[in-house]
Structure 1
Amino acid sequence: MNNPYFKQLSLYILNKDKMPDLAILAEKLQEVAFVPCMGLDWDSVGFANPVPFGSNIVFPAQNTWRIALKKEEKVLPAAVVRDILDEKINEIRETERRNVGRKEKLELKETITDDLLPRAFTKSSKTEAIMDAKYGFLMINQSSSVRAEILLTKLREALGGLEAKQPRTKQSPGSLITEWLLRGSAAGHFELDSDCELKGLGDAAPVVKISRHDLTVEEINNLLRSGKIVTQLGLSWQDRVRFVLTQNFTLKRIQFLDVIQEEAASQGDDIESLTFTSQILMAEALSELITELIDHLGGLIPE
């Protein structure tokens, strides 16, 4: 089965009062549902079933709604086009006794590409997200801001608009994780884990990556005192979630620990029950984690 748990996260704050209801969300996403690449199309993007069972375009679990944006792309290796083009150029030289100019080469290449495209292999990918109506969060299973924005843009287009903004806090995440690492401990329900990334100032500054190491040792403090800042910090939360927090407020390498997975499994081990329960527990843990983290950052800056 597909893994129901997110491994990374980009966060957007939604206006809870202006969120669409479930029926409207499903209706609007169905209107822009994914269709495979056809003919001379290079790619196709649309919303698709987010779970490996059923056919609904939104998978609801209590106040959380899982969606998925699917992208399919044609794969046409440049070497294949180049080999066929070389053969065609050699054929013209031998049969017509003339050279092929630059413009004609480009035209031949376009013709060859158009001929091959309908028969090209395809590759597909999905970007999942959960809309949490209780907390007003859009959580995207993606650490790349570019890919997260693609899903958000498509969601806005489908709904005819959606109030969603990146979290802007009074203290920056980079400043907070640097402060926590410098003092050798986190705050609240957070604890330091065993990974971090430090970076000096300037465009060509060196980057130091530390993995599976005690983060309270003097050597790391010395690096911080020399002017380096923390760009990524491994943390755990309530012994339920491990993750790496970045200076851009994204979460990477998320791991939901045994206590959550065992709780989900206790509610039923068939794929639908497990996905339903896992989604509720995952979203609740992430939303509570994020809410506490925002508090440590001094709260959101009002627009």
Structure 2
Amino acid sequence: MFFKNLQIYRLPANWPMSASELNSMLERQAFTPATSAELQRQGWAAPRGAGAPLVHAVGGQFLLQLKTEKKLLPSTVVNQVAAARALEMEEAQGFAPGKKAMKELKERVTDELLPRAFAILSTTAVWVDPVNGWLVVDAASPAKADEVVKLLLKSVDKLPLESLRVMRSPVGAMTEWLKVDESPAGFTVDQDAIMRATGESKAQVAYKRHTLEADDIRRHIAAGKQCTLLAMTWSDKISFVLDESLAIKSVKPLEIIKESATRNDDERFDSDFALMTGELAKMLADLVEALGGEAEEDARPPGPAVDAAPAKGHEPVREQRVMLKLNGQAPGTVPPGDGSATDPMYDQAVELVRSRQRASISLVQRYLGIGYNRAGNLLEAMEALGVVSGMASNGNRTVLAAPGAAA
């Protein structure tokens, strides 16, 4: 098994909830079949079938399952039957029924047809990681994830659940990765993307299994488009699509982590679940790091911050550009490389870009063995201190001459 879509929420790390405690709470909202008078019924069902616990635990990781039963009763059928009944009433009483009478007639028809309606059963898987504080719903839409969260909040007393908030907007981060033609640490960019205009036109360009040429992408960015969807691969193990709402879709495990043969179905299921949760926990941590880390609930980060437009069903994400201290002096007045920046690796980074005469995030990241965001912050500090130029339209920076250097 492997989740196909990830709607991501946050729990406190090392959340003190055992499988048995959670199971007893979910039992209060366990699934029971809908009655003949109900259009829909939802509840918790055992992931491993009848008779098994509602919480399937493997290695400290929990798997839940929301079960939904919906009655299929098309409105066209109700309207047709109601229209036939209305015609009979008109012939009997000599005049057509009014709006109120038609409304009551449709309600009666619905009640009559409901016991004969087809029932459709569906399930939604939920992964709870109490150790690292993840709660992930395998749902393609925020609306389906909201159904899960709503029932969870009703089932678990004082559930400390929050939306995942990151410091950088996914749209801003994805656009920058494509603009500078550099992927964040541990990730590679694949061949699917959507570039959308921010103006009223909402014009967009979609790439499908097509090489993302840096020059083409930069032309779209210069024309006012931003990346709202991007296909990526993490650590050569998992491919996925990241969208503007911070949802992860089309998740696929690559050959390197596909399941191995085991003796029976139960062992294979547990092995696959343990493998999936272990790899996804690492991937989510790396993705959050690539997006600037998590944003605190009550603290807006220092420096200019931009609120991204909130997607339906999601809390807004915040983007931060970290401003390094310049000891109270204006940018450019502090000699570059004198250790005035707050990052202890600043001088090493300056020496590196000067010796290589190239200023790129990937260069600093690779040679200093640091994360993508830290390398980006170092380059921003160099720009503020006059070591490198600002980013040109082609995404490149120029290494500037040191003060007092020969022309």
TM-score of the superposed pair, with normalisation by structure 1: 0.92
Residue pairs, 1:48-67, within 5 angstroms: 48-52=45-49, 55-67=52-64
Q: Which runs of 5+ in 2 are unaligned?
A: 298-407
Q: In the TM superposition, what is the alpha-carbon distance from 1:115 to its structure 2 partner? A: 1.1
Partner of residue 125 from structure 2, selected from 123, 128, 132: 128
Partner of residue 40 from structure 2, selected from 14, 39, 43: 43
> Which residue of structure 1 lines up, in the alignment, with residue 5 of structure 2?
8
* 8 Å Cα contact 1:129-1:139 kept in structure 2: yes
* 8 Å Cα contact 2:167-2:295 kept in structure 1: yes
The residue type paired with residue 260 of structure 2 is A
- In 2, Cα distance between the equivalents of 1:296 and 1:97? 72
Partner of residue 21 from structure 2, selected from 14, 19, 24: 24
> Which residue of structure 2 lines up, in the alignment, with residue 206 of structure 1?
203
- In 2, Cα distance between the equivalents of 1:54 and 1:281? 25
- In 1, Cα distance between the equivalents of 2:129 and 2:277? 7
Q: In the TM superposition, what is the alpha-carbon distance from 1:134 to its structure 2 partner? A: 2.2
Distance 1:73 1:212, change over 3 A: same
- In 2, Cα distance between the equivalents of 1:114 and 1:300? 50
The residue type paired with residue 244 of structure 2 is Q
Distance 1:146 1:79, change over 3 A: closer
Residue pairs, 1:1-303, within 5 angstroms: 4-52=1-49, 55-261=52-258, 264-266=259-261, 268=262, 270-303=264-297
TM-score of the superposed pair, with normalisation by structure 2: 0.69
Bigger CA radius of gyration: 2
Q: Supply the RMSD in Å over aligned alpha carbons.
A: 1.7
* 1:248-292 Cα distance to aligned partner (Å, 9 max, x none): 21101110011111xx224x1532112111111111111101111
Distance 1:224 1:105, change over 3 A: same
- In 1, Cα distance between the equivalents of 2:88 and 2:296? 68
- In 2, Cα distance between the equivalents of 1:286 and 1:295? 14
Q: In the TM superposition, what is the alpha-carbon distance from 1:166 to its structure 2 partner? A: 1.7
Q: In the TM superposition, what is the alpha-carbon distance from 1:180 to its structure 2 partner? A: 0.9
Could you tell which deviates more after superposition, 277-286 or 80-89?
80-89
Q: In the TM superposition, what is the alpha-carbon distance from 1:14 to its structure 2 partner? A: 0.4
- In 2, Cα distance between the equivalents of 1:296 and 1:69? 31
User: How many residues are aligned here?
Assistant: 297
Q: Secondary structure at the match of 1:16?
A: coil
Distance 1:53 1:46, change over 3 A: closer
- In 1, Cα distance between the equivalents of 2:253 and 2:69? 30
Percent identity between matched residues is 28
Q: Secondary structure at the match of 1:299?
A: coil
Greater strand share, structure number:
1
- In 2, Cα distance between the equivalents of 1:89 and 1:72? 31
Q: Secondary structure at the match of 1:265?
A: coil
* 8 Å Cα contact 2:15-2:130 kept in structure 1: no
Q: Which runs of 5+ in 1 are unaligned?
A: none
Distance 1:153 1:105, change over 3 A: closer
Q: In the TM superposition, what is the alpha-carbon distance from 1:53 to its structure 2 partner? A: 7.2
Q: Secondary structure at the match of 2:188?
A: strand
